[in-house]
């Protein structure tokens, strides 16, 4: 994954996709691939199949958008991508069923309803944003590795602040100051990344 976070707005990204801008494709990939892989796993796919579905979905998304098939007035961008992924997953499940010599119809494939699919997507998007925010925090922060370690132990892993203070050779008050300061910065990064997805909703 690129060092940059998905901070480009959807409108700017879609405008770039109207051409043959390779940077726009890379931004689409960076923004949605992790979400799509997690989404596919939630629908029962193994890792390799989830990766394949993500790739197919992204390729079709770009291809269909450049062909003028997306109409903002007819629905959200997120719903359109979910729809593409859903069909790719169903197609894969049908292929696997045939290989097991069991004929199965589209209607018999178990796929959650739209509300659950949307909930899955939102959960995967929150996970992706948080993971990216942590990565950017580690890469861009000016704090020391020990400071980040203290934050991660207390804020992310729930370690006892007193024990962390003793192991880090500092005091509890400093541990809490570190936790509060870095938590604030992490929230700022999360907000910046969430803004990139806001227009999808």
Indicate the pTM of the whole model. 0.81
Q: Using a pLDDT cut of 70, give the percent of the chain over it.
A: 82
Q: Pick 141 or 147 by higher pLDDT.
A: 147
Q: Could you read off the pLDDT of 114-140 as tens digits, one per residue?
A: 899 999 999 999 999 999 999 999 998
Using CA atoms, how far residue 109 sits from 37, 47, 92, 142, in Å, is 19, 20, 10, 51
Output the average pLDDT for the chain. Answer: 85
pLDDT at 2 > cutoff 60: no
Domain ranges of the chain: 10-200
Mean pLDDT over residues 66-89, rounded? 85
State how far the alpha carbon of 181 is from the alpha carbons of 155, 173, 174, 175, 176, in Å.
11, 12, 10, 10, 8
The structure tokens listed for 59 are 């390729």
Encoding tokens for residue 16? 């770039």
Instruction: Name the residue with higher pLDDT: 196 or 17.
Output: 196
């Amino acid at each position: 994954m690129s060092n940059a976070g998905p901070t480009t707005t959807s409108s700017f990204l879609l405008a770039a996709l109207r051409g043959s801008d390779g940077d726009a494709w890379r931004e689409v990939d960076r923004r949605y691939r992790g979400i799509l892989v997690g989404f596919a796993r939630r629908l029962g796919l193994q890792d390799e199949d989830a990766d394949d579905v993500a790739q197919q979905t992204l390729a079709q998304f770009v291809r269909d958008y450049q062909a003028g098939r997306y109409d903002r007035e007819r629905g959200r961008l997120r719903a359109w991508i979910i729809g593409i992924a859903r069909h790719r997953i169903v197609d894969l499940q049908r292929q696997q069923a045939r290989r097991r010599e069991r004929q199965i119809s589209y209607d018999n494939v178990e796929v959650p309803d739209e509300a659950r699919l949307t909930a899955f997507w939102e959960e995967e998007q929150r996970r992706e944003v948080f993971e990216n925010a942590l990565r950017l925090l580690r890469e861009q922060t000016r704090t020391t590795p020990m400071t980040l370690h203290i934050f991660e132990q207390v804020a992310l892993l729930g370690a006892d602040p007193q024990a962390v203070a003793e192991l880090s050779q500092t005091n509890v008050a400093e541990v809490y100051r570190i936790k509060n300061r870095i938590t604030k910065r992490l929230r700022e990064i999360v907000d910046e990344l969430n803004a990139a997805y806001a227009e999808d909703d």
